[in-house]
Structure 1
């Protein structure tokens, strides 16, 4: 491995090969760990800015001159969710064009724009909804950080460690949702309901720190560069769309519930901002912490098996939510929602673990059929990075669907979330069936019981 400086391009590492065990043990794992740490920091702040409006809407009331309805508040949290989902694809591609370090510096620094705008406008009485929607759209840039970060970290780690590394990277980033909700709770508890600008003010210096750390401690690697057409090639592969469909159910649920949880509690149980903020951080916190566990478990049991278990649990959890709603039981409702968050986190980790395993297995099959090994596994890495970008973008759109469903459900004659929850339950059932039919049915028939759990079978990667 050699390092060189490119004119105007920052530090670049050439010859990066984490699959070489000698290189990995002597040098690679130390460089990878350093980049992972500061990737998590940047992604964490990005998630916080992306979800800042899920906190700020809790402050909005006639008392501070912002008398928005529940439907208008749901629209405000939908806007950054939608923009963040759309930006994930170009953000993933940007890493392959500009390098992981260079893009992390830029994507961190640009978070100053929506945060400064929120700081300025959120306490201006009479500010129209469209202004906040534009600022919320700008906050969507924080949602793109996930795709660029995951694409970059996939390149740093060997396939055998990617489940754990990607789980840590994503889980640490996802914690940004819980962190900003804790900040919101602390602001409400100490300064009251009339100072939402304090939430944005706290994050302005943190954004600067994240950008500086990325510039000082991260690296670009030549292996992340993709040949033109990688996204187009990935879009033509059936697994891209199967995995994206599943990721709508896992990550879409996580981010959608994270954005909506406080508003749901306010609407369902008539909570004050302080009461809602006292509970909202728990769900994203538990979902974020469980994501690395989902990746770790998938390294041992296989991503498809863990994903199927997650969807089975999410189906049951949604059923309990419907029962709790019918009984008006806050304790049961909260417990079921927290369980749902945990299961979405596990499913996020297991679904992303499936991506490199799928394409590594296809590369193995190509080599078995006479293909050239280096080219085959380079193709697998290129495809994994591209599919992570596509699945991340499509999965985040699931969060938009979650919030649109809640908005329609609470805006209906019944003014209840039951219609939305019933829709989610049906989707989880379909996701479980897809996981079984495409990735597991043949595996259980053809895989010997003595096969090591971490070795993906041919059927598990979807020869269906």
Structure 2
């Protein structure tokens, strides 16, 4: 299909192609360009990006489920997990938090890789990297004498799946016009986040299937774990091939040095990083820890067949959190991300209070419902905070354009580059919040014999984050306007 779009005073064609290529010119905010063919190209890239990122999250979160079966597979350092043994719980949280930390650290270089290598090549590379932790775990879990440090290394390697998020989000942010960016980023992120839920659903089923096909002994559990890990390999190969063949790279999505410097020295990059700790850090931290928390706090559920088979229903948390994320971006396009984010943090504090009440009453139904509420709110908050980022940098670029005589086109391009750089930093800091959350649970359990102090600290942190959001983005002199394309005052 051929589109005609204006570049200055000249008319140039744009042709949509199924095969991947370098796009020398990309103007998503040009209505004619977008409707005639740009939309199809952007949607194509979004689809392949979602698939690759989904697998990245699936591999990243594998350890959250695998640790709950490794004790039965014959690894003594996790043998007491089902009985709430503090040492086993601590070891499990260490194994689940390690990929979180590595994934967070990789998000910054992964973001910078998009301007350097292009979205198509780097999406293929990042997908192919997922073969290392999957094949490695499948091998070593079948070596019964493998020490814990080897599994820590493998858990760290699984962190490459977490790095995929920032490269994917930075890449997709270039493809969509300003008014559709929130929904597109929400869909892209939700597709990745959904990988957490599908892993927590599928892995326990495959582990159970593996033990039934062999025997309910350590060897059977090792076979089940192997089966649950290798199932992702064919999909990883398909994602790698699909990205290489069909995705596009945008030539103008290049680093200009100055944009990165402006983003990294902008206070709003760090304010948004702090807020993203509360939303995405909570989502990924609790997603990794939820199977362990259920098994440690409600060990009697291990006797109830299908609840155990379904991973103690832990997959539901990531599932509802994933599906609520696009809603956060969509509604923020209409009412403003800051307003939505304040409400999210207030609701998250309430959800934590309900979780503590459920533990006090030893009520699993209330515990599950309260956690599902928390996950829904983290998903909405992920979408609303990410929607704020392009608005903030668009406002910054508009202010500089007015002050320095920069053209609107130059200001828009600069804003996109800065937002792309900021996404890497914000995503990295936010994901590191998942590591901090799990470590807080682990240290609270070790030092106080209870996770309650950590949960109360979370509630206080969420209230503080709501206040920070209001202070920077909702006070009358700082408020982000309802229309995303408008600058907010006093920036």
Into which bin does the TM-score normalised by the smaller protein fall? over 0.9
User: What is the Cα deviation at residue 274 of structure 1?
Assistant: 2.2
* 1:271-297 C-alpha deviation (Å, 9 max, x unpaired): 439267131100000000000000001
Match of 1:119 among 138, 144, 147: 138
* 1:95-147 C-alpha deviation (Å, 9 max, x unpaired): 11000000001100111011100111123212100000011111110001000
Alignment of 1:35-434 (within 5 A): 35-68=45-78, 69-192=88-211, 194=221, 195-270=224-299, 271-272=301-302, 274=308, 277-369=311-403, 370-414=405-449, 416-434=450-468
Q: Secondary structure at the match of 2:195?
A: helix
Alpha-carbon distance in structure 1 between the residues aligned to 2:290 and 2:259: 37
Count of residues in correspondence between the two structures: 452
Alpha-carbon distance in structure 1 between the residues aligned to 2:291 and 2:397: 45
* 1:358-380 C-alpha deviation (Å, 9 max, x unpaired): 11122333344443222211111
Residue 362 to residue 67, structure 1, CA distance change in 2 (3 Å): closer
* 1:32-76 C-alpha deviation (Å, 9 max, x unpaired): 000000000000000001111111101111552444211111111
Alpha-carbon distance in structure 2 between the residues aligned to 1:11 and 1:290: 33
User: What is the Cα deviation at residue 453 of structure 1?
Assistant: 5.6
* 1:192-232 C-alpha deviation (Å, 9 max, x unpaired): 37121111110111110110111111011112111135333
| 8 Å Cα contact 1:185/1:278 also seen in 2 | no
Residue 312 to residue 284, structure 1, CA distance change in 2 (3 Å): same
5+ residue gaps, structure 2, are 1-12, 79-87
| 8 Å Cα contact 2:338/2:388 also seen in 1 | yes
Alpha-carbon distance in structure 1 between the residues aligned to 2:361 and 2:275: 31
Alpha-carbon distance in structure 1 between the residues aligned to 2:288 and 2:46: 26
User: What is the Cα deviation at residue 408 of structure 1?
Assistant: 1.2
Alpha-carbon distance in structure 2 between the residues aligned to 1:276 and 1:124: 26
| 8 Å Cα contact 2:119/2:250 also seen in 1 | yes
Residue 262 to residue 452, structure 1, CA distance change in 2 (3 Å): closer
| 8 Å Cα contact 1:119/1:200 also seen in 2 | yes
| 8 Å Cα contact 2:178/2:485 also seen in 1 | no
| 8 Å Cα contact 2:58/2:196 also seen in 1 | yes
> Are residue 436 (structure 1) and residue 470 (structure 2) matched?
yes
Residue 389 to residue 65, structure 1, CA distance change in 2 (3 Å): closer
Alpha-carbon distance in structure 1 between the residues aligned to 2:130 and 2:482: 44
Moved more, 293-302 or 60-69: 60-69
What is the aligned partner in structure 1 of residue 488 from structure 2?
Answer: 458
| 8 Å Cα contact 2:59/2:161 also seen in 1 | yes
| 8 Å Cα contact 1:302/1:456 also seen in 2 | no
Alpha-carbon distance in structure 1 between the residues aligned to 2:190 and 2:423: 15
| 8 Å Cα contact 1:301/1:454 also seen in 2 | no
Moved more, 195-204 or 369-378: 369-378
| 8 Å Cα contact 1:123/1:196 also seen in 2 | no
* 1:378-411 C-alpha deviation (Å, 9 max, x unpaired): 1111111011111000000000011101111222
User: What is the Cα deviation at residue 443 of structure 1?
Assistant: 5.8
Alpha-carbon distance in structure 2 between the residues aligned to 1:65 and 1:393: 32
Residue 374 to residue 457, structure 1, CA distance change in 2 (3 Å): closer
Alpha-carbon distance in structure 2 between the residues aligned to 1:255 and 1:452: 29
| 8 Å Cα contact 1:64/1:123 also seen in 2 | no
What is the aligned partner in structure 1 of residue 4 from structure 2?
Answer: none
CA RMSD of aligned residues (A): 2.1
Alpha-carbon distance in structure 2 between the residues aligned to 1:298 and 1:112: 36
Alpha-carbon distance in structure 2 between the residues aligned to 1:27 and 1:413: 60
Moved more, 68-77 or 88-97: 68-77
Moved more, 232-241 or 396-405: 232-241
Residue 368 to residue 231, structure 1, CA distance change in 2 (3 Å): closer
Alpha-carbon distance in structure 2 between the residues aligned to 1:188 and 1:112: 20
| 8 Å Cα contact 1:322/1:418 also seen in 2 | yes
